[in-house]
Amino acid sequence: MVTSKNVGLAVPDWPTTFGYNMFLFPVSKWVGGVLFEHTHRLMGSLVGFLTIVLAIWLWLGESRQWLRRLGAIAVAGVIVQGILGGLRVTMLKDQIGIFHACVAQAFLGLLVFIALATTRFWSALANQRINLQRFTPIKTLAIAITIATYGQLALGATMRHQHRDLAILDFPTAYGAWVVPDTSAQALAKINAWRDARGLSSVNAFQIWLQMVHRFVAAMIAIGVVVFFRRVSTETPDFVALKRLSMLWMLSVFGQIGLGAWTIWSNKAADVATAHVALGAVLLSLGVIVTAICWRVSGQSACSEATAVGQNLLRGEQVSA
C-alpha cells in the first residue's frame, strides 16, 4: 500500500520518525501518507521481533539442525530487509526499493517453508508413496513454476518502483496491438503525446517491453499451473492434499490475472494494485508449499526404493552364500 499510494517518503528520516523514537511517535500525527509509512515501519519491527522469537523457539525445541539453521537465516533476512527499507528512505534510490521488495518475497517464502516443515502433515508425508519415475516431471514443473513466479514478482517490483504510471494502459491489447506494440521512435512520440495530453508520465521502449515481458511470463505461469494440476490429477489421483493445493494454485493464478487486468484498467488504483501484489505473494507461497511437498515425497520414495534394492541384493548374497 505504501508503494501503491506513493507515500514511501512520507516520513523523511530513518530510523527515527520526524525526529521521534519510532515507537514513541504520537498517534495524533499518524495522518495521510504518514499513517501508511509509519505503520509499515511498526509492522516491520513486529515481524522482526516475532522472527527472533521463532528462531529461539526452533533452536531450543527443534531437533532438526537444518530447520534451526533456517530460523537463524530468517533472522538475518529480516534484519537485511529492515536495513534495505531504511536505506530506501535515506538514499532515495529506486533500485533499493526493488531489492527491498524481492528480499521481502524471499523472506516470506522461507517463513512459509519453516511453517510447513513444523506441521504434522510434513511428518505424515514420509508415508506417501508415489511412482518416482512418473512423479519426477511433476516435481520439476513445480520447481520451474515457483522460480518463474518469483521472477514475475521481481518484474512487478521493478515496474512499480521504476515508473509513476503504467507503461501500457490497455489490456489485453498493448496500445492497440494484440501481439507486439510498436516501440519505434515515431510510435513512442505519438504515445507520449497522447499520455502528456492526459497528464501521464512519458515512457520509453524499455518500460513498455518490461510490462510486455510481465504479461508473457504471467501467461507461461498460468499454462504451467494448469498443466501441473492436470498431471497431478492424472498421475497421482490418490494424493488428495497435493491435488487440492494444485487446484487452489490454479484458481489463484486466474484470480491474479484478473487483478492484473483490473490494475491496468484502473491505471494502478492503489487498492487494486495492492491486492494484485498480495495475491502474487500468495501464489509464491503456494508454489513454495507445493514444491516442498513434491521434493519431500520424491526424496522419501527414492530412499525407500534404494533401501528395497539394497535389501534385495543382501538377500541375494545370503542365498548365494
Which residue in 176, 180, 239 sits closest to 209, CA to CA? Answer: 180
Is residue 107 domain-shared with residue 134, that is, in the same domain? Answer: no
Q: Round to whole Å and give the CA distance between 52 and 144.
A: 31
Given a cut of 60, is residue 319 above it in pLDDT?
Answer: no
pLDDT tens digit string along 58-107?
999 999 999 999 999 999 999 999 999 999 889 888 889 899 999 999 99
Same domain for 68 and 134, yes or no, is no
Residue 266, amino acid: S
The DSSP call for residue 200 is: P
Q: Among 53, 86, 118, which residue terminates a domain?
A: 118
How many domains are there within the chain?
A: 2
Within a domain: residue 318?
A: no
Is the model more confident about 282 or about 303? 282
Q: What is the pLDDT of residue 6?
A: 84
pLDDT of residue 126: 84
Statement to judge: residues 3 and 142 lie in one domain: no
137 and 37 within one domain? no
183-226 pLDDT, tens digit per residue, is 999 999 999 999 999 888 899 999 999 999 999 999 999 999 99
Same domain, 228 and 136: yes
pLDDT on residue 313: 54
Is 321 contained in some domain? no
What pLDDT is attached to residue 272? 94
Of residues 319, 304, 306, 318, the one with CA closest to residue 130: 304
In this prediction, residue 161 carries a pLDDT of 81
What are the CA-CA distances from residue 13 to residues 4, 26, 128, 161 (Å)?
Answer: 20, 16, 53, 19
Q: Which of 83, 118, 153 is the last residue of a domain?
A: 118
- Whole-angstrom distance between the N-terminal and C-terminal Cα of the chain? 73
pLDDT band (50, 70, 90) for residue 160: confident
Asked whether residue 6 falls in the same domain as residue 92, the answer is yes
More confident residue, 268 or 130: 268
Q: What is the DSSP letter of 80?
A: H
What pLDDT score does 312 carry? 56
Whether 114 and 131 share a structural domain = no
Give yes or no: residues 152 and 90 share one domain: no
Copy the grid coordinates of residue 248: 487452489
pLDDT at 279 over 90: yes
pLDDT digits (tens, 9 = 90+) for 234-258: 998 889 999 999 999 999 999 999 9
Half-sphere exposure for 51 (CA within 13 Å, toward CB): 25
Angle, vertex CA 83, rays to CA 75 and CA 51, nearest 5: 20
Q: Contact 8/2 with Cβ under 8 angstroms?
A: yes
Go through the chain and tell me how many residues it has: 321
Structural domain that includes position 229: 126-312
Please compute Rg for the chain using Cα positions: 24
Residue 61 forms part of a structural domain: yes
Q: Is residue 317 part of a domain?
A: no
Q: What is the pLDDT of residue 321?
A: 56
* Average pLDDT, rounded, for the chain: 90
- The answer on 233 and 97 residing in a single domain is no
Write out pLDDT tens, residues 6-18. Answer: 888 899 999 999 9
d(CA 35, CA 54): 28
Mark whether 142 and 15 lie in a shared domain: no
- Cα 81 from chain centroid? 15
How far is Cα of residue 91 from the mean position of the Cα atoms in its chain? 25
Residue at which a domain ends, from 92, 118, 144: 118
For 25, residues 6+ apart whose C-beta sits below 8 A from its C-beta are 17, 18, 38
pLDDT at 310 over 60: no
Give the type of residue at 165: D
Pair 74, 111: CB distance under 8 Å:
yes
Note whether 96 and 84 are within 8 A (CB).
yes
pLDDT for residue 317: 57
Same domain, 214 and 142: yes
Contacts of 260 (CB under 8 A, 6+ apart): 171, 215, 218, 276
Quickly state the pLDDT bin for 307 (edges 50, 70, 90). low
Report the candidate in 64, 221, 56, 43 with the shortest Cα–Cα distance to residue 144: 221
**pLDDT of the residue at 302:** 55
Q: Do the domain assignments include residue 11?
A: yes
DSSP letter (8 states) at residue 166: -
* Percent helix / strand / coil, the chain, rounded to 5: 75, 0, 20
> What's the grid cell of residue 83?
536495513
Give domain status of residue 319, yes or no. no
In the chain, % of residues over pLDDT 70: 93
* Together in a domain, 272 and 141: yes
Alpha-carbon distance of 134 to 29, in angstroms, equals: 60
**320 lies in some domain:** no
Q: Is residue 153 assigned to a domain?
A: yes
